[in-house]
Amino acid sequence: MNALPERIACLSTEAVDTLYRLGAQDRIAGISGYTVYPPEARHDKPKISGFTSMKLEKILAVQPDLVIGFSDLQRPLLDECERAGLATLWFNHRDLAGIHAMVRRLGALVDKAASAEALCAQLQARQDSIAAAAALLPRRPRVCFEEWDEPIICGIGWVSEIIELAGGIDIFADKARAGLARDRIVSAEDILARRPELILGSWCGKRFVPDKVLARPGFADLGAQLLEIKSADILAPGPTAIERGAAQVLAAIQSFVEDSTHSSCKT
């Protein structure tokens, strides 16, 4: 693609978030119906897809000169767009470094390289701040992150990194680098064996229900604290995961450590 794209169809929410932050929102022709950030995007832009589903006629209706998607789950959607003659851009990053690389790639794509560098610097400063706060914690609690409940899917790469950055120990860090969600499926017995002290739930697209977790055999006996982090704040691999998701993970870990320290002092 020689010319800069003027009409971009974003099937992934983090691309929408990033393009708005870069000041390139006028180039967005359509968005995913799951888009939450920025809030104005839902009012300003037509919704053209879900996350794993779309109707090609809706994509074609906004006359895009580029369609952007993310992950193996959206690869088939982009393949369908390509067969219809549309140019596509596929991201498949799974870590914090990949978020920065995506920001820079999109910045170059819309002639906003300087804005992209400024955004990356802002995100890095946030990561450094979180790491500095985590370094003050007296201990690192064991954390389980649930991305889904049936089957139980543990956190993806950038989520695992965020947990470690914020001062926690991701009990499934060994699985976080798996490329496919099915490779991050764990059993209730796996979780019990690793004895998490804090369970963070972010069931993608639906509300986290602590009582449902505690109803699993043996989970109430763990004595773990349970907390929801909205999936829109941490499961889209873009700036929001660092600015909102990581901050909430840090707050959850700080609160847990403080509570457990006070409990130990009382006994």
Q: What is the CA radius of gyration of the chain?
A: 20
Residue 261 vs residue 49, higher pLDDT? 49
Encode pLDDT of 187-220 as tens digits: 999 999 999 999 999 998 899 999 999 999 999 9
> What are the extents of the domains in the chain?
8-92, 121-266
Q: Look at the block and give the residue holding tokens 């992209």.
A: 116
- pLDDT reported for residue 177: 87
DSSP string, 106-160: HHHHTT-HHHHHHHHHHHHHHHHHHHHHHHT-S---EEEEEEEETTEEE--HHHH
Average pLDDT of every residue of the chain: 95
- pLDDT reported for residue 262: 65
Q: Crossing angle, helix 96-109 and helix 157-165, to 10 degrees? A: 120
CATH assignment of 121-266, among 3.40.50.1370, 3.90.1150.10, 3.30.1330.10, 3.40.50.1980: 3.40.50.1980
Which of 129, 120, 68 lies closest to 96 in space, CA to CA? 120
- pLDDT reported for residue 263: 62
Encode pLDDT of 8-45 as tens digits: 999 999 999 999 999 999 999 999 999 999 999 999 99
DSSP string, 55-103: -HHHHHHT--SEEEEEHHHHHHHHHHHHHTT--EEEE---SHHHHHHHH
8-92 and 121-266 share one CATH topology? Answer: yes
Q: Determine the CATH number of domain 8-92.
A: 3.40.50.1980
Q: CA–CA separation, 142 vs 199, rounded Å? A: 9
Q: CA–CA separation, 112 vs 212, rounded Å? A: 46
CA 141 from centre of chain: 22
Give the list of residues 6+ apart from residue 221 with CB closer than 8 angstroms, or none.
none
Give the pLDDT mean for 219-231. Answer: 97
Does the pTM surpass 0.85? The reply is yes
**Sheet of strand 47-49, all strands in order from the earlier edge strand to the far edge:** 47-49, 28-32, 8-10, 66-70, 88-91
Alpha carbons within 13 A on the beta-carbon side of 30: 25
